[in-house]
């Protein structure tokens, strides 16, 4: 019975997404009104009312538990993975209820569910490590106006680029204060923005910008190879195709290993052909690859969809509110670059790195790192907008990965603190050493106009700022040595 109820909820979400996607394809001067009416699920025709509802549109914002984890013992990993996937599903269901006028108990019901899940995760960790009581302070959620893109509290957003861990006492005090404020005000008055007024699906017309109207803000193609005295100026390119084999799934082997549909959106893969939720190091090392040099590394990112209304009721797709035909990349370039400060050292095999933040719309932009542009206009880079490109120019997505490693771990509890970015001069923080910087560059031939979007969690509204890339280094040691030698000697190799 519960499975049927969940399927019914997802099918309703899918239908609303179809309406939203269709509205975005209509174009013309009335696009904003038509789209926001459809997104709000409103059958009326009052333009003033539609505009008011657009202003009042909200989404659900919850503390990002995965980003705040500090220690996950091996024996607790599966339970924590299940917990993180359950938390995401709970937020999606709460967002669905909000958009359907779920009443004044949406947030309180969500908090109760999160409390149970967080308690189970804490119990699992407690069996072999210090009990993470700070997790229990992260059950409360709020509503966030959808018009305030990037307006999530930057002070509370946790940036790990400096390699620092959160402070437990401060976290608990902040979370206690947040919970008190949520209990006092959110369930009593927070639902004023729902009742069918919540924006469903996305993206909105405001998420797109004509690239020709953007002023140049970069010195050329982004993340250019280091130059100058002392820099390691070489490059190494590994060619792994464009996912011609159709390797897709909605798993996330880095964040939620062992859990099917742990991402709740579909990933596009190149490289290692076996990658799914159940790929451990041994499975990855024994797998075939699409790379032409024997590189067994895993590269993946959320698919880009054409907003044509196509819906497939499968996990990560229509089942999770991601509507539209999957666009195959026109090209995929995987390049490793050097350091402005000097030589780089080899990455350890099975190093895991995530760049960007799938929840940046509600988390804030501290960890947002994807970049959007157009061919021929890559001196103009966008983080929170999709580009509308001139005829004949493909859309470009670029992910630059962290280029400093702590020298110890191939992963960390939140999948961020074992790696970080160098400063503007190329220097790594104390305790970190320079490694080759991976840059994934992906291009797409997309339909003209506001016609495409990246897969996302439902409450993230397909915002471009939520884009992200993932990488597991499974290069054989001799191939990694070749890459490092090429970079450090100033050569360009494949």
In-domain check, residue 24: no
> Does 270 share its domain with 173?
no
In-domain check, residue 51: no
> Does 218 share its domain with 175?
no
> Does 99 share its domain with 168?
yes
Of 131, 213, 153, the C-alpha closest to 385 is 213
Contacts of 383 (CB under 8 A, 6+ apart): 365, 368, 370, 371, 372, 464, 465
> Does 312 share its domain with 425?
yes
In-domain check, residue 38: no
Residue-number span of the structural domain to which 461 is assigned:
205-493
| Chain-centre distance for alpha carbon 156 | 19
In-domain check, residue 27: no
Q: Which of 126, 159, 193 is the last residue of a domain?
A: 193
Sheet holding 395-400, edge to edge: 371-374, 395-400, 437-444, 331-337, 235-238, 492-493
Listing DSSP states for 382-451 in one string gives BSSSEEEPPTT--EEEEEEPP-EE-SS-S--TTSSTTEE---TTSPPPTT-EE-PEEEEEEEE---SSS-
> Does 262 share its domain with 171?
no
In-domain check, residue 6: no
Q: Which of 160, 193, 226 is the last residue of a domain?
A: 193
* pLDDT tens track, the chain, 494 positions: 444 444 445 455 555 444 444 333 333 322 222 222 222 222 333 333 333 333 348 899 999 999 999 999 999 999 999 999 999 999 999 999 998 887 789 999 999 999 999 999 999 999 999 999 999 999 999 999 987 444 444 333 333 233 232 333 344 344 444 444 444 333 333 332 222 222 347 899 999 999 999 999 886 555 677 888 889 999 999 999 999 999 999 999 999 999 999 999 999 999 999 999 999 999 999 999 999 999 999 999 999 999 999 999 999 999 999 999 999 999 999 999 999 999 999 999 999 999 999 999 999 999 999 999 999 999 999 999 999 999 999 999 999 999 999 999 999 999 999 999 999 889 999 999 999 999 999 999 999 889 999 999 999 999 999 999 999 999 999 999 999 999 999 999 99
pLDDT (0 to 100) of residue 222: 59
If one counts every other C-beta atom within 10 angstroms of the C-beta of residue 113, the result is 17
b/e map of 297-333 (b: 16 or more CB within 10 Å)?
bbbbbbbbbbbebebeeebbbbbbbbbbbbbebeebb
Sheet holding 325-327, edge to edge: 325-327, 304-306, 452-454
Q: Which of 138, 164, 193 is the last residue of a domain?
A: 193
Q: Is the torsion defined by CA of 259, 260, 263, 269 positive or negative? A: positive
> Does 179 share its domain with 234?
no
In-domain check, residue 231: yes
> Does 99 share its domain with 170?
yes
Q: What pTM was estimated for this model as a whole? A: 0.82
Tell me the pLDDT tens digit for each residue of 255-290. 999 999 999 999 999 999 999 999 999 999 999 999
> Does 263 share its domain with 174?
no
In-domain check, residue 407: yes
Token duo for residue 260: 């099917």
Q: What is d(CA 373, CA 380) in angstroms, rounded to the nearest whole number?
A: 6
Q: How many domains does the chain have?
A: 2
């Amino acid at each position: 019975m519960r499975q049927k109820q969940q399927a019914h909820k997802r099918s309703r979400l899918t239908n609303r997404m179809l309406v939203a996607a269709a509205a975005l394809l209509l174009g013309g001067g009335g696009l904003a009104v038509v789209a926001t009416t459809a997104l709000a699920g409103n059958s009326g025709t009052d333009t003033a009312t539609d505009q008011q509802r657009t202003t009042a549109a909200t989404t659900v914002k919850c503390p990002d538990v995965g980003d705040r984890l500090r220690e996950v013992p091996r024996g607790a990993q599966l339970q924590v993975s299940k917990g993180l996937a359950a938390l995401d599903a709970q937020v999606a269901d709460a967002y669905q209820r909000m958009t359907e006028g779920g009443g004044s108990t949406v947030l309180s019901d969500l908090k109760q569910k999160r409390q149970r899940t967080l308690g189970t995760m804490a119990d699992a960790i407690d069996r072999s490590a210090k009990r993470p009581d700070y997790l229990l302070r992260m059950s409360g959620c709020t509503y966030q106006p959808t018009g305030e893109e990037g307006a999530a509290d930057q002070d509370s957003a946790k940036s790990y680029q400096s390699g620092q861990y959160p402070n437990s006492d401060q976290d608990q005090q902040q979370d206690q204060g947040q919970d008190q404020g949520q209990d006092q005000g959110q369930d009593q008055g927070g639902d004023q923005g729902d009742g069918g007024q919540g924006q469903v699906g996305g993206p909105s017309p405001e998420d797109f910008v004509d690239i020709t109207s953007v002023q140049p803000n970069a010195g050329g193609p982004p993340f250019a190879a280091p130059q100058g005295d002392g820099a390691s100026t070489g490059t190494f390119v590994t060619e792994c195709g464009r996912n011609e084999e159709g390797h897709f799934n909605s798993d996330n082997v880095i964040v939620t290993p062992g859990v099917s549909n742990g991402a709740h959106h579909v990933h596009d893969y190149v490289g290692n052909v076996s990658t799914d939720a159940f790929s451990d190091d041994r499975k990855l090392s024994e797998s075939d690859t699409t790379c032409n040099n024997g590189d067994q590394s895993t590269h993946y990112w959320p698919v880009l969809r054409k907003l044509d209304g196509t819906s497939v009721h499968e996990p990560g797709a229509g089942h999770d509110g991601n509507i539209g035909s999957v666009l195959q990349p026109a090209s995929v370039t995987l390049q490793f670059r050097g350091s402005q400060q000097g030589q780089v050292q080899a990455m350890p095999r099975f190093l895991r790195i995530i760049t960007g933040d799938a929840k940046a719309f509600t988390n804030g932009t501290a960890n947002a790192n994807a970049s959007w542009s157009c061919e021929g206009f890559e001196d103009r880079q966008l983080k929170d907008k999709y580009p509308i490109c001139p005829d004949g120019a493909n859309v470009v997505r670029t992910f630059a990965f962290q280029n400093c490693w702590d020298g110890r771990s191939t992963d960390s509890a939140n999948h961020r603190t074992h790696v970080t970015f160098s400063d503007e001069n190329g220097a790594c923080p104390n305790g970190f050493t320079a490694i080759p910087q991976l840059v994934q560059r992906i291009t797409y031939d997309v339909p003209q106009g506001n016609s495409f979007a990246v897969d996302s969690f439902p409450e993230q509204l397909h915002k471009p700022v939520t884009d992200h890339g993932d990488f597991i280094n499974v290069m054989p040691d001799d191939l990694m040595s070749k890459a490092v030698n090429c970079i450090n000697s100033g050569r360009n190799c494949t």
